[in-house]
C-alpha cells in the first residue's frame, strides 16, 4: 500500500487533475494499492478564510468570493466530466456550496467567526475537491470513492490545530480499510471531534493526513506530490545552481525544512517517521523524475553537507553580566521566561566563560522578549550584576545541514573560510552535538552572497564562479576581455572555474549585468546597451550586487578607479590591476591599501605594474619572504624605452621609432609618461617598496631626457610635432655613445635604499648591451644571488603579455577565493 498526497497546485487546474489521474492509472497498471489524500484546489482555502472574515465584518463582498469558489469547481466539473455524469456531480457540488452559503450567512448574522466556525468553513475546500476528483477518476475507470476524513480521524476540540486521538483514529482507519479495495480519495487537513464537530489539523495539515493514514495502514511509502522536483540543496531563487537531492534522512529533512524549505512540513510527518515509513517528494508536473527519497538513511556518502538553509530575518538578543558567571539557573530562568511569553527561540549560543547568553528570535517578538527578560532579571539588573538585554536586528541565520558532517573534520573550516574570504562577518555560531547543523548569524545584506558562496564551497567545488568587473576597455582591457572569451570554456571544463564578466566600462559607457555579459558580442554591441560612464556609480553598483567571489580589474591609466581601491577592498572585493598609480602614490596610501587587503583577506594583485607579464614583483617577494637580503636592483623597466633605444641606430628617425612603439602597444596612453622617465620611476619606486624601503615618489631621482617643449605640449599629437623638432638632441647622445663602442640604455637602479633613473651609455660587457625589442631586464643582487645575480628578462610591455599577466592574476584570485 502506498499513500499519495496531492497538494493544492497538483489539483489546482483541470490539466493538473488530469495529470494526477495519469499518475494513479500508471500505478494501478503496476498493481500498486493506493490511498490518495488531496488538498483543496489551490487558492480555495484562502478564499474561504477571506470570505469568512468579510462576512463576519458585515461585508457583503463575501458573496463575490463565494461565486468565485463556485465557478472554479463548476469549471472543473464542466471540463472534466462527460455529459452523463455532469448533472449528478453538479448537484452534489451545489449541495455542498449551498451548505457553505448558509454557513457564511450565519457568520454574517452573528458578525463574528469562532475558531470552530473557521474550521468548518475551511473544510469545504477539501470536501469539494475530493468529491470532484473521485468522480472524475471513476469516470476514467479507476475504482475511486471520496472519503471524508472527518469520519475517521478523531481529534480533541483545539479548533485550528486539533490534536489527534491516535488510538481511535488508527482503529477507525483499520476497520474502514479492512477488505475494502476501493481507491479512496481522502480529504486532507480535516478531522472531527468525538461529537462530530469539524476540526482542522493546522499548518501542513494535508501532509499530516497522509502521514496518519500511512502510519495507520503501515504503508510501504508515502508520496508527497507537489510542484517541485524534490528537496533542493538551496533555495533556487537565490542559488540558480541548486539541485535536487536524491536521498535525505528524516533528521536532515527536518533540519532543512525547519529553515524555510517549504516542500514539506516535517512535524506533521512524525507518525510516518516513527514507523520508519519512507517518504518521497515528487513533482506532479514532472512525474518521470524520481524525486527525493527520505528515510532513515542519509545516502550520498560523498556529500557531508546536504543543504544550505536560511532564515532571512531574525533578532539577536544577548543577556550578559558578571553576575551570571558560575551561577546556576540563569538559563533556566531566561528560557522559561521566554516560554511563558510563548516566544520560540531559533538559536542559542553561550561561550564557556558563562559571561553571556545569546539567542535568536523572530524580530517581531524581540521587544516583547526583552521586556519580559528585563522584568524577570530586574533585581540583578538593578544591582548591576546583569545588563539590560541588548537587541541586534537586520540579521539572518544561515546553516549548513548534513548527517555525514558528523566526525568529518574540516567542514566548519570550509564554511568559515568561504564566508571569511567573501567578507561575511559571523555574529554568532551554533552547532548541536548531533553535528547535523552548523548555524551562523550574519548581516542580512550578505545573505544571498553567503548562501551562494557556501553552495559553491560544498556542492560545486569543481565548478565555481568568479565574478569579474573590468574598468577600462582600451588596449589592455580589450585584450584581456578577448583572452577571457577565448579561454572561458577551457577554464570551465578543465579547471572548474567559471569566469563571468559582470561589468565593463570605458570612459563613455558602462554596463553591468548580474547574469554575465556575452563576450561573443562586439564591443560596440555590448556597450550600446550601456549607460553613460560614471566610475563611482559603477563601483557602487558592484558593491551593491554583493556577489560572492568578486574581482575588480582596473585597466584604466587614471586615478578614478584607484581612488576607490580602499573602499572596494573594504567591501571584500579583490582587485588586480596593471595600473601603477595606486602603488606609486604616497607611501601611506600604498601601505593603507596593503593593510586593508590583509585585514579583509582579499587579494590585491599588481604583478603587471613592473615588467608587464614578466614575473618581477612575485619573485622579489619570494626572495624577501624566504629571508634573502636584496642589495641591489638594476633594470631596464620600460618596454617603450627599451624598444626605442634598441631600435635607435644611425639614419633612423627617433620620432618614428616612438610612434612605432605606440602602435605596438608598448607605450603608456601618453608616451611622455615613458619618455619623461615617469613610468620607470614609478616602477623602481614600486620595487623599492616591495623590497621594504619606505620611499616617496620624490625620493626617486630621474634624469629627464625630454626637452621642455615636448613636456609642455598640449596633446599627444603636438608632442610628436615637438619631438620631431628636437630629434637632433637624441642623435647627438647616440652618436657620442657609439663613438665609445657603447649603446644608450635607460636604466633604473635601487641601491642602499636610493632609487635612480638615468640614461646611461653601456659597453659590450654590460648585460643591458644585448637587449632587443621591447625586452625588460631586471637584475637582483642579493645575499644569496651575490656573484651571479638573479636575472629576469623578456618582453616587458605590449597588450598580449600584459593582459595575460592580468588574466593569470584573475585566475589566481579565483583559486584563492574558491578553495578552502
Ligand X SMILES: NC(=O)C1=CN([C@@H]2O[C@H](COP(=O)(O)OP(=O)(O)OC[C@H]3O[C@@H](n4cnc5c(N)ncnc54)[C@H](O)[C@@H]3O)[C@@H](O)[C@H]2O)C=CC1
Query: Strand 347-350 relative to strand 356-361: parallel, antiparallel, unpaired?
Result: antiparallel
| Least Cβ distance, residue 631 to ligand LTNE7NMQ (angstroms) | 25
What whole-number distance in Å separates Cα of residue 504 and Cα of residue 510? 6
Q: Is 476 in the site for ligand X (CB under 6 A)?
A: yes
What whole-number distance in Å separates Cα of residue 533 and Cα of residue 505? 7
Q: Is 584 in the site for ligand LTNE7NMQ (CB under 6 A)?
A: no
Q: Is 479 in the site for ligand LTNE7NMQ (CB under 6 A)?
A: no
**Which residue is nearest to ligand LTNE7NMQ, using beta carbons?**
640
Q: Is 112 exposed, middle or buried (0-12, 13-18, 19+ CB in 10 A)?
A: exposed
Concatenate the DSSP letters of all residues of 25-94 into one string: HHHHHTT--EEEEE-PPTTHHHHHHHHHHHHHTT-TTHHHHHHHHHHHHHHHHHHHS-HHHHHHHHHHHH
Q: Is 773 exposed, middle or buried (0-12, 13-18, 19+ CB in 10 A)?
A: middle
CA max distance for the chain: 120
Contact stretch for ligand LTNE7NMQ (CB under 6 A) within 62-70, 149-157, 373-381, 660-668: 660-668
CB atoms inside a 10 Å sphere around CB 562: 21
Q: Is 471 in the site for ligand X (CB under 6 A)?
A: yes
Q: Is 797 in the site for ligand X (CB under 6 A)?
A: yes
Q: Is 264 in the site for ligand X (CB under 6 A)?
A: no
Work out which of 214, 271, 472, 814 binds ligand X, going by CB under 6 A: 472
Using the CB atoms, write b or e for 581-619: b if 16+ within 10 Å. bbbbbeeebbeebeebbeebbbbbbbbbbbbbbbbbbee
| Least Cβ distance, residue 726 to ligand X (angstroms) | 25
- Alpha helices (runs of H) in 57-191, residue ranges in sequence order: 62-80, 83-110, 115-139, 166-177
Nearest to 156 by CA among 128, 189, 194: 194
| Least Cβ distance, residue 774 to ligand LTNE7NMQ (angstroms) | 7
Binders in 214-243 for Na ion, by CB under 5 A: none
Q: Is 191 in the site for Na ion (CB under 5 A)?
A: no
Of 345 and 749, which has the nearer Cβ to ligand LTNE7NMQ?
749
| Least Cβ distance, residue 260 to Na ion (angstroms) | 48
Work out which of 273, 293, 648, 666 binds ligand LTNE7NMQ, going by CB under 6 A: 666
Instruction: Supply the Cα-derived Rg of the chain in whole angstroms.
Output: 37
Q: Is 665 in the site for ligand LTNE7NMQ (CB under 6 A)?
A: no
Binders in 589-608 for Na ion, by CB under 5 A: 607
What is the SS3 assignment for 820? coil
- Evaluate whether 168 touches 153 at the Cβ level (below 8 Å): no
Half-sphere exposure of 400 (CA within 13 A, CB side): 28
Nearest to 562 by CA among 592, 533, 517: 592
Binders in 668-687 for ligand LTNE7NMQ, by CB under 6 A: 668, 674, 679
Q: Is 130 in the site for ligand X (CB under 6 A)?
A: no
What whole-number distance in Å separates Cα of residue 387 and Cα of residue 375? 12
Work out which of 475, 729, 749, 820 binds ligand X, going by CB under 6 A: 475
Contact stretch for ligand X (CB under 6 A) within 14-22, 49-57, 337-345, 661-669: 661-669
Contacts with ligand X, 627-656, as mask; x by CB under 6 A: ------------x-----------------
Q: Is 489 exposed, middle or buried (0-12, 13-18, 19+ CB in 10 A)?
A: exposed
Q: Is 714 exposed, middle or buried (0-12, 13-18, 19+ CB in 10 A)?
A: exposed
Q: Is 229 in the site for ligand X (CB under 6 A)?
A: no
Helix (DSSP H) and strand (DSSP E) numbers for the chain: 28, 30
| Least Cβ distance, residue 586 to ligand LTNE7NMQ (angstroms) | 21
Of 260 and 536, which has the nearer Cβ to ligand X?
536
Q: Is 623 in the site for ligand X (CB under 6 A)?
A: no
140 vs 147, 183, 205, 664, 711, CA distance in Å? 18, 13, 28, 78, 92
Of 292 and 802, which has the nearer Cβ to ligand X?
802
Of 52 and 611, which has the nearer Cβ to Na ion?
611
283 binds, among Na ion, ligand X, ligand LTNE7NMQ, none (CB under 5 to 8 A by kind): none
CB atoms inside a 10 Å sphere around CB 802: 26
| Least Cβ distance, residue 557 to ligand X (angstroms) | 4
323 binds, among ligand X, ligand LTNE7NMQ, Na ion, none (CB under 5 to 8 A by kind): none
Binders in 785-804 for ligand LTNE7NMQ, by CB under 6 A: 796-797
Of 568 and 797, which has the nearer Cβ to ligand LTNE7NMQ?
797
Half-sphere exposure of 191 (CA within 13 A, CB side): 33
- Evaluate whether 287 touches 21 at the Cβ level (below 8 Å): no
| The three three-digit cell numbers of residue 265, written as one number | 512540513
| Least Cβ distance, residue 758 to Na ion (angstroms) | 22
Of 229 and 775, which has the nearer Cβ to ligand X?
775
| The three three-digit cell numbers of residue 480, written as one number | 584581456
Catalytic residues, by residue number, are: 683
| Least Cβ distance, residue 510 to ligand X (angstroms) | 7
Work out which of 479, 533, 667, 782 binds ligand LTNE7NMQ, going by CB under 6 A: 667
Of 77 and 806, which has the nearer Cβ to Na ion?
806
What whole-number distance in Å separates Cα of residue 543 and Cα of residue 477? 21
Of 5 and 689, which has the nearer Cβ to ligand X?
689
What whole-number distance in Å separates Cα of residue 629 and Cα of residue 636? 21
Helix axis angle, 14-29 to 115-139, nearest 10°: 60
The site that binds ligand LTNE7NMQ (CB under 6 A) totals a number of residues, namely 11
674 binds, among ligand X, Na ion, ligand LTNE7NMQ, none (CB under 5 to 8 A by kind): ligand LTNE7NMQ
Of 281 and 685, which has the nearer Cβ to ligand LTNE7NMQ?
685
640 binds, among Na ion, ligand LTNE7NMQ, ligand X, none (CB under 5 to 8 A by kind): ligand LTNE7NMQ
Binders in 541-600 for ligand X, by CB under 6 A: 555-558, 560, 578-580
Q: Is 612 in the site for ligand LTNE7NMQ (CB under 6 A)?
A: yes
Nearest to 132 by CA among 89, 175, 91: 89
**Which residue is nearest to ligand X, using beta carbons?**
474
Work out which of 72, 249, 506, 574 binds ligand X, going by CB under 6 A: 506
Half-sphere exposure of 330 (CA within 13 A, CB side): 25
Binders in 279-338 for Na ion, by CB under 5 A: none
Beta bridge pairs of residue 392: 316
Q: Determine the distance from the C-alpha atom of residue 188 to the mean position of all C-alpha atoms in its chain, rounded to a whole number.
A: 37
Binders in 607-636 for Na ion, by CB under 5 A: 607, 611, 614, 616
| The three three-digit cell numbers of residue 90, written as one number | 453538479
Contact stretch for ligand X (CB under 6 A) within 142-150, 261-269, 664-672, 735-743: 664-672
| Least Cβ distance, residue 612 to Na ion (angstroms) | 6
Q: Is 640 in the site for ligand LTNE7NMQ (CB under 6 A)?
A: yes
Q: Is 634 in the site for ligand LTNE7NMQ (CB under 6 A)?
A: no
| Least Cβ distance, residue 566 to ligand LTNE7NMQ (angstroms) | 23
Contact residues: Na ion, CB under 5 A: 607, 611, 614, 616
Contact residues: ligand LTNE7NMQ, CB under 6 A: 612, 638-640, 666-668, 674, 679, 796-797
Contact residues: ligand X, CB under 6 A: 471-477, 505-507, 533, 535, 555-558, 560, 578-580, 608, 612, 639, 665-666, 668-669, 797-798, 802
Amino acid at each position: 500500500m502506498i499513500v499519495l498526497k496531492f497538494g493544492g497546485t497538483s489539483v489546482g487546474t483541470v490539466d493538473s487533475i488530469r495529470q494526477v489521474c495519469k499518475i494513479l492509472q500508471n500505478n494501478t497498471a503496476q498493481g500498486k494499492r493506493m490511498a490518495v489524500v488531496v488538498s483543496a484546489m489551490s487558492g480555495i482555502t484562502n478564499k474561504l478564510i477571506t470570505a469568512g472574515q468579510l462576512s463576519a465584518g458585515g461585508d457583503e463582498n463575501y458573496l463575490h468570493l463565494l461565486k468565485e469558489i463556485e465557478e472554479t469547481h463548476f469549471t472543473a466539473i464542466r471540463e472534466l466530466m462527460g455529459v452523463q455524469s455532469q448533472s449528478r456531480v453538479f448537484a452534489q457540488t451545489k449541495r455542498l456550496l449551498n451548505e457553505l452559503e448558509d454557513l457564511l450567512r450565519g457568520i454574517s448574522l452573528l458578525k463574528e467567526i469562532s475558531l470552530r466556525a473557521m474550521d468548518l468553513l475551511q473544510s469545504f475546500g477539501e470536501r469539494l475537491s475530493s468529491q470532484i476528483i473521485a468522480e472524475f477518476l471513476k469516470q476514467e475507470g479507476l475504482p475511486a470513492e471520496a472519503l471524508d476524513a472527518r469520519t475517521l480521524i478523531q481529534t480533541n476540540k483545539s479548533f485550528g490545530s486539533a490534536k489527534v486521538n491516535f488510538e481511535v483514529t488508527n482503529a477507525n482507519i483499520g476497520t474502514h480499510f479492512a477488505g475494502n479495495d476501493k481507491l479512496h480519495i481522502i480529504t486532507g487537513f480535516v478531522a472531527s471531534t468525538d461529537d462530530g464537530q469539524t476540526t482542522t489539523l493546522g499548518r501542513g495539515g494535508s501532509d499530516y493526513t497522509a502521514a496518519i493514514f500511512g502510519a495507520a495502514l503501515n504503508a510501504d511509502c508515502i508520496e508527497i506530490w507537489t510542484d517541485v522536483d524534490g528537496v533542493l540543496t538551496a533555495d533556487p531563487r537565490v542559488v540558480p545552481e541548486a539541485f535536487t537531492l536524491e536521498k535525505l534522512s528524516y533528521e536532515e529533512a527536518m533540519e532543512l525544512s525547519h529553515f524555510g524549505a517549504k516542500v514539506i512540513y516535517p512535524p506533521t510527518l512524525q507518525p510516518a517517521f516513527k514507523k520508519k515509513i519512507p517518504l518521497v517528494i515528487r513533482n506532479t508536473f514532472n512525474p518521470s523524475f524520481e524525486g527525493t527519497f527520505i528515510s532513515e538513511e542519509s545516502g550520498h556518502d560523498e556529500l557531508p553537507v546536504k543543504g544550505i538553509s536560511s532564515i532571512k530575518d531574525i533578532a539577536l538578543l544577548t543577556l550578559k553580566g558578571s553576575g551570571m558567571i558560575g551561577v546556576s539557573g540563569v538559563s533556566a530562568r531566561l528560557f522559561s521566561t521566554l516560554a511563558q511569553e510563548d516566544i520560540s527561540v531559533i538559536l542559542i549560543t553561550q561561550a564557556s566563560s558563562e559571561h553571556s547568553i545569546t539567542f535568536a528570535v523572530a524580530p517581531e517578538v524581540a521587544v516583547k522578549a526583552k521586556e519580559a527578560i528585563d522584568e524577570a532579571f530586574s533585581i540583578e539588573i538593578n544591582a548591576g550584576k546583569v545588563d539590560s538585554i541588548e537587541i541586534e536586528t537586520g540579521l539572518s541565520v544561515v546553516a549548513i545541514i548534513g548527517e555525514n558532517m558528523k566526525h568529518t573534520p574540516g567542514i566548519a573550516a570550509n564554511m568559515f573560510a568561504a564566508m571569511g574570504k567573501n567578507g561575511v562577518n559571523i555574529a554568532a555560531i551554533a552547532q548541536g552535538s548531533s553535528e547535523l547543523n552548523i548555524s551562523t548569524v550574519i548581516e542580512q545584506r550578505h545573505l544571498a552572497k553567503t548562501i551562494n558562496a557556501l553552495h559553491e564551497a560544498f556542492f560545486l567545488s569543481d565548478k565555481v564562479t568568479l565574478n569579474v568587473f573590468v574598468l577600462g576597455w582600451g588596449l589592455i582591457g580589450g585584450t584581456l576581455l578577448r583572452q577571457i572569451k577565448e579561454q572561458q570554456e577551457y577554464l570551465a571544463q578543465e579547471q572548474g572555474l567559471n569566469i563571468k564578466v559582470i561589468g565593463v566600462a570605458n570612459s563613455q559607457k558602462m554596463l553591468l549585468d548580474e547574469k554575465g555579459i556575452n563576450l561573443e558580442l562586439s564591443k560596440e554591441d555590448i556597450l550600446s546597451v550601456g549607460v553613460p560612464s560614471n566610475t563611482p556609480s559603477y563601483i557602487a553598483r558592484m558593491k551593491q550586487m554583493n556577489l560572492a567571489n568578486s574581482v575588480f580589474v582596473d585597466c584604466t591609466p587614471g586615478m578614478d578607479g584607484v581612488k576607490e581601491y580602499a573602499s572596494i577592498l573594504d567591501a571584500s572585493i579583490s582587485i588586480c590591476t596593471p595600473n601603477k598609480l595606486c602603488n606609486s602614490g604616497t607611501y601611506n596610501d600604498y601601505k593603507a591599501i596593503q593593510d586593508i587587503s590583509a585585514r579583509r583577506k582579499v587579494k590585491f594583485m599588481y604583478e603587471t605594474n613592473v615588467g608587464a607579464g614578466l614575473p618581477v614583483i612575485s619573485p622579489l617577494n619570494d626572495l624577501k619572504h624566504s629571508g634573502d637580503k636584496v642589495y641591489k636592483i638594476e633594470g631596464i623597466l620600460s618596454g617603450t624605452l627599451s624598444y626605442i633605444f634598441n631600435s635607435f641606430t644611425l639614419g633612423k628617425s627617433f620620432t618614428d621609432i616612438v610612434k612605432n612603439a605606440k602602435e605596438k602597444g608598448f607605450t603608456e596612453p601618453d608616451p611622455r609618461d615613458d619618455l619623461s622617465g615617469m613610468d620607470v620611476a614609478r616602477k623602481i619606486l614600486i620595487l623599492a617598496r616591495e623590497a621594504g624601503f619606505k620611499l616617496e615618489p620624490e625620493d626617486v631621482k630621474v634624469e629627464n631626457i625630454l626637452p621642455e617643449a615636448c613636456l609642455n605640449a598640449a596633446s599627444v599629437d603636438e608632442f610628436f610635432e615637438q619631438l620631431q623638432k628636437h630629434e637632433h638632441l637624441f642623435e647627438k647622445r647616440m652618436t657620442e655613445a657609439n663613438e665609445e663602442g657603447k649603446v644608450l640604455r635607460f636604466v633604473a637602479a635601487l641601491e642602499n635604499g636610493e632609487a635612480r633613473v638615468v640614461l646611461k651609455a653601456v659597453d659590450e660587457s654590460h648585460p643591458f648591451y644585448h637587449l632587443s625589442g621591447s625586452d625588460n631586464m631586471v637584475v637582483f643582487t642579493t645575499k644569496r644571488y651575490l656573484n651571479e645575480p638573479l636575472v629576469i628578462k623578456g618582453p616587458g610591455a605590449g597588450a598580449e603579455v600584459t593582459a595575460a599577466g592580468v588574466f593569470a592574476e584573475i585566475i589566481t584570485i579565483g583559486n584563492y577565493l574558491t578553495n578552502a
